[in-house]
Amino acid sequence: MRHRLLLLAASCFVLTACAAHAPKPNLGRIAIRPFGVDGNVTQVTRYDGPTLTLATTFTANLEQRLKARGWDVLVGADGVEAGADTVVSGSITRIDGGSRGGRAFASVLFGFGLTSWGIGGSSCRVDGQVNRRDGTRVGTFGAEQKRRSTGYFWIYYGKSSERQLRECLVEGVSPAIAGMINSGGYSGGRLPATAAEPPKPPGDIRTPSERLRDLDALRSQHLITEEEYTEKRRKILEEF
C-alpha cells in the first residue's frame, strides 16, 4: 500500500511538471515587422496625438517580451524575414484616447486614491498574424484593453491620452499577444481576410527543342502561316 501511494505521488509530480513546462511551438527565429496604424483598418477616436510613436513603442515592447521568454527575435522593415523562420505582423486597430477632462473630473468626484470605474479611460486593440516564411499561416491574434484611471493623486487621473494609450498597449495588449505566440494558442484575431489569388495555369513543360520540333511539324502540315511560324519561333528562341 505504501509503495502504491509513493508511485501515485510520483506520477502526480511528473504530470504536474509536464503541464507546467509544456513544449513551445516550433517557430525558430522570429522576425517582427514593425506594427503600424492602417487608416483603412484602424478606428481612431478622441485622439489627435502621434500614432507612429504608439506603434513603435508596441513593436519594441513585443520584441522585449518574446526575448525574455527565450525566443530569437529580429525586428526590421522590408526584408527582415529573410533571416527568420517565422514572421509576426499586424496593426493597431483601435485607438480611443478617452477623455482627460473626464479622468480629472472623476478624481475630484470620487476623491484621492479611489477608482474612477473607467470614467474617461482610453482603450486600444491590436490584430495580427504569425506566418511561416513561405507564407503558411500559423495563427491570427487579437487583443484589446480598456485602460482605467486609477491612482493616488488626482493629477494621475488627468494624465495625457498618449500616455494612457502607451500603457494600454505595453502593459495590457503586448503581454497578451506575447503569451499567444509563446504558447501557440491564438485567439481574437479580426484582420480582414484577403482574397485568394486564382490558381495559375500550369506552364508549358516541353523543352525548347521539343517546342521547335512541334512548331516545324505544324508548319509542314500547313496548319500555321509562315508569319505565325516566324513569330512563334522567335519567341521560343528568346526564352533560352
Q: Does one domain contain both 166 and 222?
A: no
Phi-psi region of 222 (alpha: psi -120 to 50; beta: other; left: phi over 0): left
Domain that holds residue 56: 24-183
- Looking at the domain assignment, is residue 53 inside a domain? yes
164 lies in some domain = yes
Residue-wise pLDDT for 75-100, tens only, equals 976 677 788 999 999 999 999 998 88
pLDDT in tens, 9-51: 555 544 444 444 557 899 999 999 999 998 778 899 999 999 9
Q: Are residues 131 and 217 in the same domain?
A: no
| Whether residue 49 is found in the same domain as residue 123 | yes
Q: Are residues 87 and 143 in the same domain?
A: yes
Judgement on whether residues 136 and 212 belong to the same structural domain of the protein: no
| CATH at residue 157 | 3.40.50
Q: State the total domains in the chain.
A: 2
Comparing 202 with 99, the larger pLDDT belongs to: 99
What b/e readout covers 73-107, taking b as 16+ CB neighbours within 10 angstroms? bbbeeeebbeebebbbbbbbbbbbbbbbebbbbbb
Average pLDDT, the chain: 79
pLDDT higher than 60, residue 150: no
Domain shared by 47 and 111, yes or no: yes
Whole-model pTM: value is 0.69
d(CA 160, CA 8): 57
Q: What is residue 19's predicted lDDT score, i.e. its pLDDT?
A: 42
Q: Output the pLDDT for position 240.
A: 63
pLDDT at 239 over 50: yes
